[in-house]
Amino acid sequence: MALSNEKVSKCITDDLALSIMSKLPLKALNRFKCVRKSWVPLFENPYFMNMYRKSLISNNSYDNDTRLLLKQTLLNSEKHSSLYLFSSENFDNKVKLDWPPPIEEDDRGINILGSGINGVLCLYVNGINSKLVVWNPAIQEFKVISPNPAVFVPPYVRVASQHHGFGYDCVRNDYKVVRYVEFFTSLCYFLDARINMSASKVLLDPIWEIYSLKSNSWKKLDLDRKKIYQSPVGVVEQVYLNGVCHWLGKSETDIDNLYLVSFDLGNEVFLLTSIPSIMDNIIDFGLVNTHLLLLNESIALIYKDAETTTFHISILGEIGVKESWAKLFIVGPFPCLGDPIGVGKNGDIFFAKEDEELARCDLTTNTVQELGIKSMFFCSQIVIYKKNLLSIEE
Amino acid sequence: MAQEASSSTSSKTISLKTGDGEIFEIEASAAKQMKTVQRLIDDLGDDITIPLHNVFSKELPKIIEYYKKDITGEITKDFEAEFVKDLNDDEVKVLFLAANYLDANKLFEFLSQNIADRLESKSVEYVRKYFGVENDFTPEEESKLREERAWSFRGIKEDE
């Protein structure tokens, strides 16, 4: 590392340049591969990739006040869903939080929509008596959101909503919820159930709606029917980043493709990003093995290869650009791990295991740590949360 | 090897002499954070002025200022933002190289991130000049490469 005196102030050696490059976002890194020949295959350089992964994982603004919330669902007990706040990464000290009214512990299927935003959570319960609440647990302030859609619904029509996004509109300083609403007739005019279903769908088209906390009302979004992209699964995996809500979706009219759907809360516009077929041209339409996560400040897809039980994680370089997905991590084989249920403060990913317990996967060491916490498959969530003493309304 | 320096009290100062002959004082606990300096102290003793051939009087005071804050645990995001606010890209580069020479890890990591932030929206030519790198592509190779990753050039101002 000896540099001659005159050159020191002008010359950065390659390894120093690479340590700077390892801290760049994907878009810039990709562009700077054109700087010189030896940088073109940077993604195949294990030394560089280790630096890049380390930098990605440690690059966050989480401080000691940022905690983890666990929503634990145990359907075989009376108290179906419980919420715990953890103060340390070891899950030793936990504080049980009471759900805000009208949500009750024996409600089936309580879910946190997305993550904590400025210390505010959005909770929902699906079903016949659906509930939707925006809540700041630190000051025990909550606001119940009326589930009634913006359009007129005749009394014999049932409403089924699928919540796709909870986020903060930075332009209007307002919390928003985005959902997809379908309508079904509840009367049986026909003996054949299938005819009933077709008939009911003809009555009222599904709509997309956005709720504004400030105006306390739902508003129908004007969308081209062809461009409706909803999640194919019941409970939507959603991430929020910088004023945009993201989820994975497909359209009835575009059945061959799966997309990352990004909804900008400020200008109320949808953007689509194609998802590359991660393994062998398989497209996971049922979203059985593909999950959406937020890895620090990056949108990430995690795909489980069932055969090898390895997990492949790709990061998105730019919204709307299919070529900008970059596969950065392959961890495993971990045959015991099931679905991811959340991301921690150090880029560690939490999983529900096949034996209905929770585990944490460290991406840098490629190891799994058991947490000794029980969970029903699919049902638990771990969410990053930092308490905020400001009122929701501010 | 003289061992007294390692257990010196925080009031003990070390003298550092820059490549252009100026002398600066630094507290021993701050000197510990710069591994190159600490190694020299271990070899030469802490009563001698430590020579730093590759660091100059323009940048050493700034580095000392950073580590003064570090030993009192006062380094915050705001302090770091203020620290680099009035520096241009070349000045940060000089500091970065000095931090590397001094093996001052915390400052090195902070400055690498700061340089990365500054380079994020720059052109390929700017980065080449900044790192002192020659373009070893033929024009055809380069334009093919740029086409292949056209999305990463969108919205970036190119300086020809």
B12 pLDDT above the threshold of 70 = yes
A22 in any annotated domain: yes
Confidence of residue A204 (pLDDT cuts 50, 70, 90): confident
Distance between first and last Cα of chain B = 55
> Which pLDDT does position A2 carry in this prediction?
44
> Which pLDDT does position A46 carry in this prediction?
93
B45 pLDDT above the threshold of 90 = no
B110 pLDDT above the threshold of 70 = yes
Cα–Cα distances (Å) from A70 to A75, A178, A300, in that order, read 15, 23, 21
User: Greatest CA separation found in chain B?
Assistant: 63
A103 in any annotated domain: no
For residue A105 the two structure tokens come to 């512990």
pLDDT single digits (tens) A100-116: 988 887 787 788 998 88
> Which pLDDT does position A7 carry in this prediction?
47
DSSP secondary structure code for residue A237 in this structure: P
pLDDT single digits (tens) B113-157: 999 999 999 999 999 999 999 999 999 999 999 999 999 999 887
- Contact between A324 and B153 using a beta-carbon 8 Å cutoff: no
| Residue spans of alpha helices (H) in chain A | 5-8, 14-21, 26-32, 46-58, 193-203
Burial code (b: 16+ CB inside 10 Å, e: under 16) for B51-78 equals: ebebbbeebbebbbebbebbbeeebeee
Cβ neighbours of residue A341 under 8 Å, at least 6 residues apart? A350, A351, A352, A358, A375, A380, A381, A382
Mean pLDDT over each residue of chain A, to the nearest integer: 85
Of residues A284 and A19, more confidence is placed in: A19
Closest Cα in chain A, distance from residue B46 (Å): 24
> Which pLDDT does position A91 carry in this prediction?
77
A21-30, A183-192, B18-27: segment of lowest average pLDDT:
A183-192
Residue among A28, A318, A321 whose CB faces B119 most closely:
A28
Cβ neighbours of residue A378 under 8 Å, at least 6 residues apart? A235, A339, A352
Confidence of residue A129 (pLDDT cuts 50, 70, 90): confident
Residue tagged 């300086």 (tokens): B159
A380 in any annotated domain: no
- Contact between B145 and A19 using a beta-carbon 8 Å cutoff: no
- Contact between B151 and A11 using a beta-carbon 8 Å cutoff: no
Judging contacts by C-beta atoms under 8 Å, the chain A residues touching residue B19 are 5
Residue A50 domain boundaries: 15-56
> Which pLDDT does position B3 carry in this prediction?
45
Mutate to test the interface with B, among A35, A64, A321 (most CBs of B within 10 A): A35
Supply the pTM of this predicted model.
0.86
DSSP secondary structure code for residue A126 in this structure: -
- Contact between A317 and B142 using a beta-carbon 8 Å cutoff: no
Instruction: Give the A:B interface size as CB pairs under 8 Å.
Output: 92
A48 in any annotated domain: yes
B159 pLDDT above the threshold of 70 = no
Judging contacts by C-beta atoms under 8 Å, the chain B residues touching residue A11 are 132
| Section B48-56 average pLDDT | 91
pLDDT single digits (tens) A4-55: 444 444 578 999 999 999 999 999 999 999 999 999 999 999 999 999 999 9
| Section A171-197 average pLDDT | 79
For residue A40 the two structure tokens come to 């073109």
Mean pLDDT over each residue of chain B, to the nearest integer: 89
Closest Cα in chain B, distance from residue A179 (Å): 31
Amino acid at B38: Q
Cβ neighbours of residue A183 under 8 Å, at least 6 residues apart? A153, A157, A158, A159, A160, A200, A201, A203, A204, A205, A206
What distance in Å separates the CA atoms of residue A373 and residue A389, rounded to the nearest whole number?
30
Q: How many distinct structural domains can be found in chain A? A: 1
A316 in any annotated domain: no
Spell out where B19-142 has E strands: 23-27, 50-52
A203 in any annotated domain: no
What residues form DSSP beta bridges with B25? B15
A374 in any annotated domain: no
Q: Judge whether A383 and A237 are in contact, CB under 8 Å.
A: no
> Which pLDDT does position A202 carry in this prediction?
59
A36 in any annotated domain: yes
- CA-nearest of A380, A392, A387 to A135 is A392
Residue among A5, A30, A32 whose CB faces B127 most closely:
A32
